[in-house]
Amino acid sequence: MRATIKDVAKAAGVSPSTVSFIINNKPVPISKDTREKVMRAVEELHYRPNQLAVGLVTNTTNTIGLILPDSTNPFFATLSNQIEIKLRQKNINVIIGNTSGNAKITREYLRIFSDRCVDGIILAQLDFEDEEETAKCQKLIHSIDIPIIYVDRVADERNHYSVEVDQKLIGYLATNHLLDLGHTRIGCASGSINLNVNSSRYEGYRTALKERKLTPDPNLLFCDSLSIECGIKALPDLLGQNVTAIFAFNDMIAYGIYKECRNYNLSIPGDLSVIGVDNIVLSDIIQPPLTTVAQPVTQIADYVVKGMLDLMKIPNIEFEHVKLNPILKVRASTMQAV
């Protein structure tokens, strides 16, 4: 049976209130000998405070819910790890829910975290292909009286704290880099274009082309998913459009293109230049190293944690909307057009 504060008090020969003062580091005059007896009893009995009881007293749980669209994606794995480390440093626990991009599962996690009275929720996707599903999630969020921060795939609304990277600039930087190398037939391999994150990157692509007096060709856009499978499927389709370069909307898609290029006996970048997005760890290890547009994950996590801590202290604080700039990382997968 789990030891209680009364068990510790009995073993140490003191009152339960004295035990409470000591384990909670209250500034009360208690002798060193008494403190040592209490802490020895705590250790021998393997006592841990009942967090439910503590939460009832303090009206906090020191727990944050983090909802991810895809925990297998290295970008979200790294982001969640950074957020968890930074919150743990503040003695705050993190419960992670993976939705696989499913709006219904997202709502389930929102309800679960709300029922568990977490101190806040970090939501990494409020952007779904079905606008009705997005609206249902937004309606539920507005009914939850818990601080919520949007991160990465944010909604186009201004009544919540949000942290995102300029997705249009990602598309612009990637395309401009390929244009600077002389490529004009640039294919795009993307997830669903109905998602804001993808449509914004595509808009950046189109803007870069138009600045060079080039007309965007819709046939050069291949849409499937933000996965390796998308790159595998996209390559033959885009090669049929005579592209000399491909802008993969994330590094995972780029890896699929690498894999399929081997089956076609194509050289990267000799036969095809490839650029990705996210700068996940493998991108600097694969051969050739992948040119990519990095999202500043550490900076994202810093702003998310700062925002959550601020909201936990002052729930009615004025909402901040942080938009960070991506960074182009030029490596060996892109070269001058022949």
Q: Are 174 and 141 contained in the same domain?
A: no
CA atoms of 204 and 248, how far apart (whole Å): 13
Q: Does residue 142 fall inside a structural domain?
A: yes
Instruction: Give the single-character DSSP code of 284.
Output: G
> Tell me, what's the pLDDT at 128?
85
CA atoms of 163 and 257, how far apart (whole Å): 30
Q: Does residue 56 fall inside a structural domain?
A: no
**Hey, is 64 helix, strand or coil?**
strand
Q: Are 271 and 226 contained in the same domain?
A: yes
Q: Are 155 and 301 contained in the same domain?
A: yes
Q: Does residue 173 fall inside a structural domain?
A: yes
Q: Are 149 and 193 contained in the same domain?
A: no
Q: Are 141 and 83 contained in the same domain?
A: yes
Peptide bond into 288 cis (omega under 30): yes
Q: Residue 160 belongs to a domain with what CATH number?
A: 3.40.50.2300
Token representation of residue 337: 């057009």
Question: Domains in the chain: how many in total?
Answer: 3
> Tell me, what's the pLDDT at 274?
98
Q: Does residue 12 fall inside a structural domain?
A: yes
Q: Does residue 280 fall inside a structural domain?
A: yes
CB 310 within 8 A of CB 296: no
Q: Are 175 and 226 contained in the same domain?
A: yes
Instruction: Give the single-character DSSP code of 219.
Output: G
Instruction: Give the single-character DSSP code of 318.
Output: P
pLDDT tens sequence across 14-69: 888 888 787 777 777 788 888 888 888 888 887 776 654 545 444 567 899 999 99
Q: Does residue 262 fall inside a structural domain?
A: yes
Q: Are 255 and 230 contained in the same domain?
A: yes
CB atoms within 10 A of CB 221: 21
Q: Are 197 and 132 contained in the same domain?
A: no
> Tell me, what's the pLDDT at 56?
42
The pairs formed by 10-15 with CB atoms below 8 angstroms and a separation of 24 or more are 11/41, 11/44, 11/45, 12/37, 12/38, 12/40, 12/41, 13/37, 14/38
> Tell me, what's the pLDDT at 244?
98
CA atoms of 102 and 106, how far apart (whole Å): 6
Q: Does residue 121 fall inside a structural domain?
A: yes
Q: Does residue 332 fall inside a structural domain?
A: no
- Sheet containing 63-68: give its strands across: 93-98, 63-68, 120-125, 148-153, 161-165, 321-324
Q: Are 73 and 146 contained in the same domain?
A: yes
CB 160 within 8 A of CB 130: no
Query: In the chain, what are the helix, strand and coil shares in percent, each to the nearest 5?
Result: 45, 15, 35
pLDDT in tens, the chain (338 residues): 677 888 888 888 888 888 878 777 777 778 888 888 888 888 888 777 665 454 544 456 789 999 999 888 999 999 999 999 999 999 899 999 999 989 999 999 999 999 888 999 999 987 888 889 888 998 998 888 889 999 987 766 566 789 999 999 999 999 999 999 999 999 999 999 999 999 999 999 999 999 999 999 999 999 999 999 999 999 999 999 999 999 999 999 999 999 999 999 999 999 999 999 999 999 999 999 999 999 999 999 999 999 999 998 886 777 788 999 999 999 999 999 98
> Whole-model pTM?
0.82
Closest alpha carbon to 68 in 143, 145, 126, 138: 126
Domain extent, residue 150, equals 63-166+297-327
